[in-house]
Structure 1
Amino acid sequence: MANSGTAEGVKIVTRCEDLLALRGVGRVGFYNGSDQTPEDIPFPSCLAAALRFIGEDYSWTTFTEKGKTWHRNDLYIELLGASGMAFGLRWKAGWYQDAADMMFVADPTEIIRRSFAHVGYGFRGIDKSGNPGDEARFVNEITESLRAGRPVLSFGVVGPPECGLITGYDEGGEVLIGWSYFQDLPPFNYGVEHEPDGTYRKRNWFPDTWSLIVIEDKVDRPEPADRNAEILRWAVSVARNPGDRWGGGTQHTGLAAYDAWAKQVTNDADFFTDDERVFRSRHEIHNSAVSIVAECRWAASELLKMMAESQTKTAPDLLAAADRFRREHDLMWQAWGLVGGNGNPKAHEAFVDPQIRKELASVILKARDLDAEAIGIIEKLCC
């Protein structure tokens, strides 16, 4: 077995005949209380980690807020903006676990395409065809990319079809190694083992894998002003699109998603049960949307402030829109407060109360109004 290091000293390739592992790919996962700002949206976080590993040198910003020092991953913030996720929302009518899945705030292929165009890289999507040779084809794509020193973005492998990272393989591809948001969460981690560095090891991975994204060579990248303008145009499109045809079910996206979400939480008929599991599940789905709005609108605010630093002519309008998004983020803390605070283990009990849900709906609609104000300001700038 041989180890080969890079100039940074923390990126190591572990090789033997049937094993290859890229060591030093940044871990991705749900917020765990660290001093790094949350990265709970898998696709942009995974892409940022992969790009940093292959040598893209984006900044980190350190700041102090409410007595705590934070470290912000500026590449993640940019990718949230380029993808449209910083400005998007989705509510799938009913109480579905993927009700607020951010990969469906717009056409997923466009979300991915725009993200890669923003950073100046090509990519290839690898999907299943239903043919017997699919697994061998996936193994070949994975091994070739890893041998080139590039992690692979995967949807599935461990847990639901959310984005993760494949950073290695063993036994010639029978076992995959990588990072997943769900690798330590039951029941998704059934059959998952771990490498010494914390990455997962997953055997019999193919049935749980939906698709892959392989990072290709660099391509021409637009100038910063053009990239920013495209982010703003796409933000308006994502917010103004009332629905989509992706992901199944009845979709509501953009500003329309707030109305559908508020309507759902105030539908008392959905709570005519004594089954605590139902209450827990419905609160978890609602809380996922609260968390997404809090993180994504905070990111939108930060991104617009970053843009304002280099665009003096439009800075006042960018900062005005950023202010609306930041206030929208703050409203989500009000929503958490109504059920006893963020992380309250008994929040689902408060969520059952019709009056609490009525107040939550009011907060959601106030957030919608702030979102509409912000998008209106952006629209005047770019459209």
Structure 2
Amino acid sequence: MGDAPGLHAPEARLPRERRLTKRRILKEIAPLRFGEGHDCTFPAALAAATKTDYDWLMGSSAAAFTATIDETGWDPLAATPRDSDTLRRAARAAGVRLDPEPPPYDEEMRELILDRVMEAVDAQLPPLVFGLGGTPEYGLVVGFDQEGPTFFARTFFDKGDDPRRVGWDAFESEDRGGLVFLDKGAAPDRANAVREGIDAGLTAGDASDRALASWSGALREDARWSDAKHAGTAAFADHAMRAVLVDKRRAAARFLRGARGMFANAPGGDLLRAAESYGYAAESAAKGGVGEFDGGVAMRFLDVGHRRAWAKNLDAVRENDREAREALAAARRSMR
């Protein structure tokens, strides 16, 4: 845990009683929403906190190029980037270092954590928070009020446009209200970040293909979905995983188009070819249906013909992904 080092040297900090600002909310940070093209919550929250482009973080971290799945339970959270290597690459691409300070906090730590939250908000580099309210996704602490104290947070599950208000009881554990502070680091070497993201994406290529093959194969196991209740739960998981897959591949296409001009020896043709293939992968995945989950989505999943058609679309995603990786490998060989 340490001494909660914060963003500034100890001598630069103001004692709380001398602060003029007793309450502050970063109103420029917009509400977080699923279905708006930023469906992976860690890079979305990090992008909002650091004013960094979401697609840049998705590509530089390699999250845009991968596919992951919980083969047994079909937990849709497994489809999103959560491994430590991916998170660290995203942080480097944003020019920050991740500094987790997991709860619970005793009275002494509460004093330090409150000071650090205030420093972070004042510096307009708000901390990330994981699992606030019990949902295992990332959000942001975007404000504070020393009375109480009260913290203001944005999550993907807020009702309305205003930040939610929480107290110390919201910070229970690493998985329920775990804070991750962002310490400013070196400005990213953008060309190196592109190379690092591509390398990691290529390394994960076989595992990603196996994940998509597992997903496609499971859809064809009709006996697995004969129980309507089980199939209804799986329908939601399938829909959520599809939304993440579409989001990832669209981000990959945009990231690679933006990276074309970064290299003097111009591997731009191969990068464009990879971007087009990832765009086709996103289109193939989107044919399975995107948007808000409702009863109609669940009913379609129960239909054998619909599941088999969606499985074929996933096979097309796999083929598009393979073509994209071939182009990426060619581009990477010509990068200096």
Do they fold alike, i.e. is TM over 0.5?
yes
Q: Which residue of 2 aligns with 1:212?
A: 179
More helix by share: 2
Kept in 1: contact 2:79–2:244 (CA 8 A) = no
Q: What is the distance in 1 between the residues matched to 2:309 and 2:125?
A: 48
Task: Return the match for 1:226 from 188, 192, 198.
Answer: 192
> Aligned-pair distance for 1:259?
1.1
Q: 1:206 to 1:135 in 2, by over 3 A?
A: farther
Code of the residue aligned with 1:22 in structure 2: it is: L
Count of aligned pairs? 311
Aligned to 1:334: 287
Give aligned-pair identity as a percent.
20
One-letter code aligned to 2:285: M
Contact 1:20 1:168 (C-alpha < 8 Å) held by counterparts: yes
* Counterpart residue number, 2:11: none
Partner of residue 179, structure 1 = 154
State the partner residue of 2:34: 30
Equivalent position of 2:12 in the other structure: none
Tell me how far apart the structure 1 counterparts of residues 109 and 233 of structure 2 sit (CA, whole Å). Answer: 35
Aligned-residue Cα RMSD (Å) equals 2.8
Which structure has greater strand proportion? 1
Aligned-pair distance for 1:49? Answer: 1.1
Q: Is the 8 A contact 2:49 2:124 kept in 1?
A: no
CA contact (8 A) 1:93 1:99 kept: no
Q: Specify whether residues 149 and 314 from structure 1 end up closer, same or farther in structure 2 by C-alpha distance, changes over 3 A only.
A: closer
Letter in 2 for 1:271: W
Q: Using a 3 Å threshold, how does the CA distance of structure 1 residues 216 and 233 change in structure 2: closer, same or farther?
A: same
Point out 4+ residue stretches in structure 1 off by more than 6 angstroms.
129-134
Q: Which residue of 2 aligns with 1:161?
A: 136
Change (3 A) 1:363 1:90: same
Q: Which residue is 1:378 aligned to?
A: 328
SS at match of 2:34: coil
- Stretches of structure 1 lacking an aligned partner (at least 5 in a row): 1-14, 32-36, 53-57, 59-74, 185-193, 243-253
* Shift of residue 266, structure 1, vs aligned partner: 2.2
Residue 360 (1) aligns with residue 316 (2): no
| C-alpha contact 1:122 1:217 (8 A) present in aligned 2 | yes
Unaligned runs of 5+ in 2: 1-18
Question: In the alignment, is residue 268 of structure 1 matched against residue 201 of structure 2?
Answer: no
1:37-82 CA-partner distances (Å, limit 9, x unpaired): 5211111111111112xxxxx6xxxxxxxxxxxxxxxx11101111
Higher relative contact order, structure no. (Cα contacts within 8 Å, ≥ 6 residues apart): 2
- What does residue range 127-142 of structure 1 map to in structure 2 within 5 Å? 127-128=102-103, 138-142=113-117
Structure 1: distance between partners of 2:60 and 2:179: 20
TM-score, normalization by structure 2: 0.82
In the alignment, the residues of structure 2 paired with residue 95 and residue 232 of structure 1 have an alpha-carbon distance, to the nearest angstrom, of: 30
TM-score with structure 1 setting the length: 0.73
Q: Partner amino acid for 1:257?
A: A
